[in-house]
A and B are shown apart, each in its own frame.
Chain A
């Protein structure tokens, strides 16, 4: 099963994301009526790594996110989330053959996300997400936004509301702890000064960071970010890089992100998966993906055959890519281009 993913074609060595995947997506297919948004997609997200999902507009990236976070039920495929080290192949196969949604394993636990409703994925499987068009609770304060994210632990602490109404001390303590955690994250995203302002009042960049902080308040094992750098200026986008590095470093949270900003992607990702028309066209570390001809073709909107057969197409690609990278990618540089270059 998923042999292609477990032994990458491009390298002999086994990649870290195949040895210790936090999330494996296997043969994922999503159809909307007649439209196939994702077709037989398989990839892994390594534990403690930053994985980027890239591809042209309409490639199906957000659909993958919606399948992983339970907002869509995939037509086919398995999405396994693991708590604890290793592939846990034994437990994965046990859960798959049972009717369970998840099962504890010696290493941690295995969750089959395609069987779980969205809120359970966040609550139990510990997958948090942000949205392409920011979804904050605009009429609530920044602090309240972060408290809502800690709903489940607080509900337990409030004795499912009854203890809270009676004002039991246990709840008071838990509430203070939740405020402390919110303050911690507000400091990390540098929004502590705005804690009592309504979220809708924040400027765009701050809203993006607040959404990440809110997702982190659910203490996720996997953080899914849908275009976190969209609409950010270069300075903000640099800060975002640092924030993501920090999250990965200090909290060990694995990150899966969709991004168009190649600067961000190449700088921070450990692993890149490229989608086009719902199909995976490349998978590997940034250096490998950067030079993959099919990726270049997909981004520039040309077919592979064109690249091989039509010199004018190839020359455009080479121009876009730079000759060195093109040669590395195995694109034959047309002679006309060579001459032009000499001039």
Chain B
């Protein structure tokens, strides 16, 4: 029981990260109907920027008060990662707007390759370890098993991740539902041509969607860095695929769906590793995806599509 609870907390933490990345996928898919394959790599870029800023602040400038450092890292990371998100859209997707469906998918895959190899070339192929920065936690429950004492612990790190995710999600939902930007976004989702006829700046709305997605991915990147303490240029692929899986699982185009899907994928992965085998955790996540899609093709919270004849 204690073991299960501990895994539940771990799953929630990992799921938060997936959920934050998944939002980027789901928004972009909702608005322009393409799989932004490079989004996972934007997440990776975000974690590298976070690492660089963190190191500059701590080792070069000598800041030591961690909360302030992390806040600065978060903000700078969001800004600079957003610039990457904007640039990718501007260079690789906007020229192909209104073109054929597969063209932006291929440029997205191309961009993904470019970003990975750009980081590999400029930062080296070796992993970047960062010693754990936030230690300790709150013990929620104690119990004993045959193997010995077992503790259910909610570490401060996990707390930060979960709270930040909740705060960002709330802000974000407000942004989408309450502001004119959100309205413009939903209008573009429905009918881009009509939206532009009604005076919505479609290009800017799409750009902002990419910027927002990248900003959230950068937060996920920072969390990933702090949680696992090790990053390399290749982390974006698997995290990206899983986050996309999460977005599809939750019903692509739906923001709460993306978060829910992220949590589920995180949970499945952690539980599978805990109870079955670590090696096959990715297989578990992908199999669940396939099963859900076959039996529930529009995901958990997506709107069911009626076939138009």
Contacts and interface: CB of A to CB of B under 8 A. Distances in A.
Interface of A: 32, 62, 66, 71-72, 131
Nearest to B306: A32
B307 interface: yes
Contacts of A66: 309
Contacts of B306: 32
Nearest to A65: B309
List the 7 closest A-B pairs by CB distance, nearest first: A71-B309, A66-B309, A131-B309, A71-B307, A32-B306, A62-B309, A72-B309
A131 B308 CA distance: 11
Contacts, number: 7
Give the interface residue-count category, chain B. under 10
7 contacts: A32-B306, A62-B309, A66-B309, A71-B307, A71-B309, A72-B309, A131-B309
Contacts of B307: 71
Interface in B270-309: 306-307, 309
A290 B166 CA distance: 65
Nearest to A63: B309
A302 to B, nearest CB: 31
Contacts of B309: 62, 66, 71-72, 131
Nearest to A133: B308
B302 to A, nearest CB: 16
Contacts of A72: 309
B215 to A, nearest CB: 38
Contacts of A62: 309
B161 to A, nearest CB: 39
B305 to A, nearest CB: 13
A103 B306 CA distance: 32
A110 to B, nearest CB: 25
Nearest to B309: A71
A66 B309 CA distance: 8
A131 B309 CA distance: 7
A131 B306 CA distance: 17
B208 to A, nearest CB: 34
Contacts of A131: 309
Nearest to A129: B309
A273 to B, nearest CB: 20
Nearest to B307: A71
B39 to A, nearest CB: 31
A139 to B, nearest CB: 12
A32 B306 CA distance: 10
